[in-house]
Structure formats: C-alpha cells, structure tokens
Amino acid sequence: MMHASQESWSHDKFTERLRTVGREHYHDKHPFHALMNRGELDREQLRVWAANRFYYQKNIPIKDAILLSRIPHRDLRQKWIQRIIDHDGTPTEVGGIEKWLRLGEAMGLSRDDIEGDSLLLPGVRYAVDAYVEFVRTRPWVEAVASSLTELFAPALMAQRLSAFEKYYTWIDKDGLAYFRARLTQAPRDSEHGLAVVLEHCTTPEVQRKAVAALKFKCDLLWAQLDALYYYCVFSRNSTDA
C-alpha cells in the first residue's frame, strides 16, 4: 500500500533498513545454530543437518541460473554467472556442491545418502522450494535482494569454522573447505548484490519490496532450522553420541 508521504530512502538509510532485517531475523540467532556453535550436536544430528543443508546448496545454482535468465543487464549477468561456477565448479575446478558432498563424507554420510535426499525433512524441502519459486516469479531485483542474507554470513561462517575445529574434531579438517571458501565468496557476492539493489531500487515501493524480500529469505532460512531443531531435539532417540 503506497502512502503519499513515502519518499525514497537514501542509500545509507536503505542499507540500514536491510541490515536491520539481518540483525533481527538472520538465522545465526536460531537455537539450532546456538547448539552447533556450543559443540552440543552429536554425530547423527550433524549428519542430518549436513544432508538437509545439501538440498539448499544444490538449489543455489539452480536459483542463480533462473535469476541469471531474468536479469536484463549484460554487465550484471557477467558478474552473477560467477555464483553458478562457484557452486557447480568446472571440469578442472571443484565447486561448492562437491565440497559439501566431501563435508558429508567426512561426517560419515555416503554420497548416495546426501544426493538421494533420503534424510530430507519436509520443512527443509518446502522452504528451499519456496526460495527457488520466489526467484522464478518475483521481479528480478527482489530476487537479488533476497540473496543479501549473505551480508550476515561471514561472521556465522567464522563462528561455525571455529566451532567445528574446536568441538567436532572427529570431522576431517579437509571437510571444512566449503566454509573456508565462503569466507571470501560471501562478502564478494553480498557487496555486489547490495550495490545492485541500491542502484536499481529507486522508488519507495520497490525499496520496501526489497526489504520484504530479505525478510522472506531470513524466514525460509529460519524455517529450515526449525525443521531440523524439531527433528534433532524432539522427535528421535539419539543413538550415536
């Protein structure tokens, strides 16, 4: 609903509105991440998390390819395509999806377990599918805005890496290569994404839709962890400490 009094936010004000969404809703604050970062997850719980997060990871290049096909600016596509390469890799370069499979193997999962979605929880599936559908159907700049959760990811990646290295020493350190790569890829991607959103969201209505897109994405990240928290904490007997 447009109010006549609404004016476009300055870049600083718009950026602050976006950052406030993360401060209030990003999934670094979810109880499941709190358990993980305190070293309180057992091996089975970590395996279920890794297998479910794989469904999110394998859909990232799919949503980025959909988004790429909807960006009307060649210079933006030239940058955005790097995200697909980062995850799918190349015939000579291991990408994020392969690194995540190796993380799962380092936790004792088989590639079939992971790629066959045998451990996939309904809530995770529907949250991830909602993300892909959002990118497929919303205006392309709102889809770019939804990726800005990565403004808040580097701190979480650093926290996660140190928790894994301190508490989950049974996981071979080489399995953590995915998180190390994100420490540089996430800031690069979110810096570009923010510049695109600031440049192309120029009316009060579109700016507010971009903030809503970021909140939507925070909610779908949160929903995945709700499903995992329920499964890991309430609905199974832990058999493998």
State the residues that interact with ligand AHQ by CB under 6 A.
60, 147, 149-150, 153, 156, 182
**Closest distance to ligand AHQ from the beta carbon of 178 (Å):** 7
Beta bridge pairs of residue 90: 93
| Residue among 79 and 204 whose Cβ is closer to ligand AHQ | 79
Task: Give every CB contact of residue 232 below 8 A, 6+ residues apart in sequence.
Answer: 32, 41, 45, 48, 49
Coil vs helix vs strand at 237:
coil
Provide the token pair at 35: 């358990």
**Closest distance to ligand AHQ from the beta carbon of 60 (Å):** 5
**Closest distance to ligand AHQ from the beta carbon of 210 (Å):** 14
| Residue among 28 and 113 whose Cβ is closer to ligand AHQ | 28
- Answer whether 85's CB lies under 8 Å from 95's CB: yes
| Residue among 188 and 208 whose Cβ is closer to ligand AHQ | 188
Q: Quickly list DSSP for 56-116.
A: HHHHHHHHHHHHHTT---HHHHHHHHHHHHHHH-BTTB--HHHHHHHHHHHTT--HHHHHT
Give the nearest residue (CB) to ligand AHQ.
149
**Closest distance to ligand AHQ from the beta carbon of 190 (Å):** 8
**Closest distance to ligand AHQ from the beta carbon of 61 (Å):** 9
| Residue among 201 and 225 whose Cβ is closer to ligand AHQ | 225
Q: Quickly list DSSP for 189-206.
A: HHHHHHHHHHHH--SHHH
**Closest distance to ligand AHQ from the beta carbon of 151 (Å):** 8
**Closest distance to ligand AHQ from the beta carbon of 47 (Å):** 16
Q: Alpha-carbon torsion 180, 135, 77, 23, what sign? A: negative
Q: Of 83, 76, 87, nearest to 197 (Cα)?
A: 76
| Residue among 68 and 237 whose Cβ is closer to ligand AHQ | 68
| Residue among 150 and 226 whose Cβ is closer to ligand AHQ | 150
52: exposed, middle or buried (Cβ count in 10 Å: 0-12, 13-18, 19+): buried
| Residue among 46 and 153 whose Cβ is closer to ligand AHQ | 153
